[in-house]
Amino acid sequence: MTTTPASAASDQDGDSTVVARPDRATRAAGLLPADSALRRATLITVFNSLGNGLYFPLGVLYFTRIVGLDATAVGLGMTMAGLVGVAAGVPAGRAADRWGARQVGALLWGGTGVATAAYVLVHSYAGFLVAVVCATGLQMASRGVQGAIYADVLPAATRVEARAYLRMITNVGMGVGGAFGAIALQLDTRGAYMTVILVNALSFLAPASMVRRLPLAAHVVERVAAQKEPAAVSSWRAVRDLPFLAVTVLNAVLVVQYTLSEVGLPLWIVERTEAPRWTAALLMIVNCVLVALLQVRVARRASQVPSAVRAMGWSGLLLAAACAVYAVSAGLSPVWAVLALAVGAVVQVFAEVLSAAGGWTLGYELADARAHGVYQGVFGAGFSAGMMAGPALVTVTAIQHGAVGWAVLGVLFAVTGLAVRPAVRWARRDGEWRGEAVA
């Protein structure tokens, strides 16, 4: 991110910037990390993940059961909103480079909170479209800006490990929020749904008020204090950075694994296996618990470019193995089907934590440090695109064609993971063009 000397010296609120200590990112002081930036980022993550976990189980049901909209129309509206969010990622990143990632992030999260609160006022499809496009578009656009914020406030040496820690916190928060969301689902009243929506809106508004006070990392403060700010670069450089775009696309393909868990497996279990329906919930719990236990440990071993490349390669191969195990579950008895699906889910968790850690490292290390906002905007847009394409891709392969479809998905994942290595070699040869050597 390009930061002006004035904004580096202090927040716009007038608070003195506190330099983030480059000690072990996840070392706890009591219940929270010792690093001041990571401690505040943890509080932001707790607020937001609790609200999101609370809302996710009942968001669609609110619009269909309470507002009375057609389910297909709601799905179409959400798809449109997702497309807007993908398109908004790069302009949001460019704005972060120009005006500061923390300031732009605060505006995006604040806007998301206001648009989310507007859901309680929706009484028509037109109102739904306006609200969901604004809320989803702003939230998805904030992904890349969030990456730029982390580039500015977290010590470079522990940044990937810190993101892994925050992902662990997210999983725990989502799980706790989801438990309370289940209570609202059981009540199934307009008041319960609206309460959840307003609490979720607050989970964006509260972080929006906190993010501007995140202290800048030492390397950012020192660079500005020494007046070593790099020369200005084109705000659209990331869009023309072909090696970086190649890595972004490959990461987007591996991101499909998230919708494999959220959409593909529940459909597969119900339509193609003898496993009981509750197996889908069991696999989700297994995923959340194992990610929380493993993500930080794995991230420590994938914080450099070579280890990140290996992590992405292994992720693709493990995803292929998980697809093969899922395919086998279709011909088994209920007990053995549950066991096979659980084994596949465990294998997929290892693939997930490897690709997440590798993706964070490559997204930062292959970017031009002078324009982290737009680079993280591009990378975040790729992530969003993978999440959007995932449900359709999983449905037309595994769900419609069974074992053959799983084989297609498995080959796609394996080839993608292995293709990361030549793509990164291309980017490293091109590192001088970015203005900084790629580690």
Q: Which of 21-35, 350-364, 375-389, 423-437 has the lowest mean pLDDT?
A: 21-35
Q: In this predicted structure, what is the pLDDT of residue 270?
A: 84
Q: In this predicted structure, what is the pLDDT of residue 439?
A: 38
pLDDT tens track for 185-199: 788 889 999 999 999
Return the SS3 of 72.
helix
Q: Per DSSP, what are the bridge partners of residue 32?
A: 29
The dihedral built from the CA positions of residue 253, 258, 263 and 269, taken in this order, carries a sign that is positive
The confidence band for 405, taking pLDDT boundaries of 50, 70 and 90, is very high
Q: In this predicted structure, what is the pLDDT of residue 430?
A: 60
DSSP state of 229: P
Angle at the Cα of 163 from the Cα atoms of 393 and 235, rounded to 5 degrees: 75
Chain position carrying tokens 């910037």: 17
% of the chain residues with pLDDT over 70? 86
pLDDT tens track for 278-298: 888 788 888 888 988 899 999
Confidence check: pLDDT of 340 > 90: yes
Secondary structure of the chain: what % helix, strand, coil (to 5)? 80, 0, 15
Give the Å distances, CA to CA, from 399 to 95, 261, 388. 41, 13, 17
pLDDT tens track for 16-28: 333 333 344 444 4
Cα 109 vs. chain centroid, distance in angstroms? 15
pLDDT tens track for 126-163: 999 999 999 988 998 888 888 888 888 888 788 888 88
pLDDT higher for 352 or 85? Answer: 352
Beta pairing, strands 28-29 & 32-33: antiparallel
- What torsion, rounded to 10 degrees, do the Cα atoms 32, 35, 38, 42 define? 10
As a whole number of angstroms, the distance between CA 427 and CA 436 comes to 12
As a whole number of angstroms, the distance between CA 178 and CA 176 comes to 5
Confidence check: pLDDT of 45 > 60: yes
**DSSP H helical ranges for 334-399:** 334-365, 372-394
Angle at the Cα of 404 from the Cα atoms of 401 and 406, rounded to 5 degrees: 90
Average pLDDT (109-115) is: 95
- Of the candidates 88, 53, 211, 209, which has an alpha carbon nearest to the alpha carbon of residue 146? 211
**What DSSP assignment string belongs to 102-144?**
HHHHHHHHHHHHHHHHGGGG--SHHHHHHHHHHHHHHHHHHHH
* Length, in residues, of the chain: 439
